[in-house]
Each structure stands twice: as structure tokens, then as C-alpha cells.
A = this chain, B = another copy of it.
Amino acid sequence: MHTETKDEMQEKILDAALKRFTHYGASKTTMNEIADDLHCSKASLYYYFPDKNAMHMAVLERIAEAYFQEMEKETQQVKSASKALNNIIEIRRIFVSKFCRLEIFKILQDGNSFFYAGMIKAKKREIEIHTEIIKAGIASGEFKVKHPAKAAELLVQSLMGLRFSVPDHFRNDADLNEEQFAQVIEKQKQLLEIFIKGMKA
């Protein structure tokens, strides 16, 4: 490894880890495999990250950051709030289809409180983004909503819930195939449409 800074090496490790994760799933990837990919020893990995979990979290935070940044770009200069909300669904669709293979929920081993806290935070941020858009919609006269934050929370939760209720499996931990995923997206768009009508009234 001929990197200049500690940070650079951490980034390289995260790159290698993410590559493995998206190909084979995070739970099937070992520290040795990542080390081998980088032509370094496993012990080196532990010089940059305290443990496997911290590395997993770093990978997750990185992709989450890209996700939210793309979303927040959408909240800047909103021409139409309706359009912005639709775009958000599309952003989420692309994000999920890109990273679904890393089996994010298999990492959540028994009450990992860091992961849990991170998910809560992500949820909040997603709702905040929706709140901003709805507020913009109110400002432009597009929507008539009393409590934008409440409406945003409800919208996000309703859209998210469809991921579990639309597919006909009753083992809700299983992940979705292409067709099921497409159906969920379609239903999300339909719900958003009627939800928007509801916010206009």
C-alpha cells in the first residue's frame, strides 16, 4: 500500500469492502477476503478500524451519505413539490436496486445499538427531506397542509410500508425479486398521487 494518509487507506478499505458486499453480500464477506483483495494482511485492517462492525457501519454511512445528498439536491430549487416527491421515489428506486445485494438486514445481529441508532437517524433525515419539500409546496400554494412534518412522516411511513404489504409472501424478511420490486414502486407512485391530491384539498 503506497497511500499518503490514513484517511486514504480507510477509503481504499471501504472501497474494497463495498465491492465485496455488493457482489456476495456483507454477511458472506470475511475480513481475510477484503485483506486479500487489497494485497495486505488482515491485521492491517484492524489498524484502521477497531472491529468488523465499525467497518460495516462506515460502509453503510458512506452509501447513506450519497443517498441523502442526492435527495437533498432535490429539495434545493423545487419547481413543483409534486414532481420533487416523485423524483424522490425514483432516487430511492435506483438506490435500492443498486445496493440491495449487500443484504443490509443480515448485518443487524442481535440488538446492535449503533446500527439501530443509525437507522433511526436515517429515518428522521428522510422525513426531514420530505418535510422540506412539502413546506415548499405549501409556500408555493401547491399544498394545503397544517402540519408538514406530520404529513411527511405519514407519507414516508406509508410508502415504506408498501415494501412489506404489496408482496404476497408472509415471511416479511425475505428480499424481493424483480417483479415484486417493480410492483412496490408502482404502488408507491399510485399512493403518492392520491396523497398529493389529499394535500391539495
Residues of B within 8 A of A197 (CB): 197-199, 201
Q: Least Cβ distance of A167 to chain B in Å?
A: 10
The stretch of A18-26, A30-38, A66-74, A157-165 that contacts the partner chain: A157-165
Q: Check: A100 CB closer than 8 A to any chain B CB.
A: no
Chief secondary structure at chain A's binding surface: helix
User: CA–CA, A172 to B105, complex, Å?
Assistant: 10
Residues of B within 8 A of A119 (CB): 168, 170
A-B contact pairs, 19 of them (CB 8 A): A108-B171, A115-B170, A119-B170, A154-B194, A157-B166, A158-B162, A158-B191, A160-B165, A161-B163, A161-B165, A161-B166, A163-B165, A164-B172, A173-B173, A194-B195, A194-B198, A195-B198, A197-B197, A197-B198
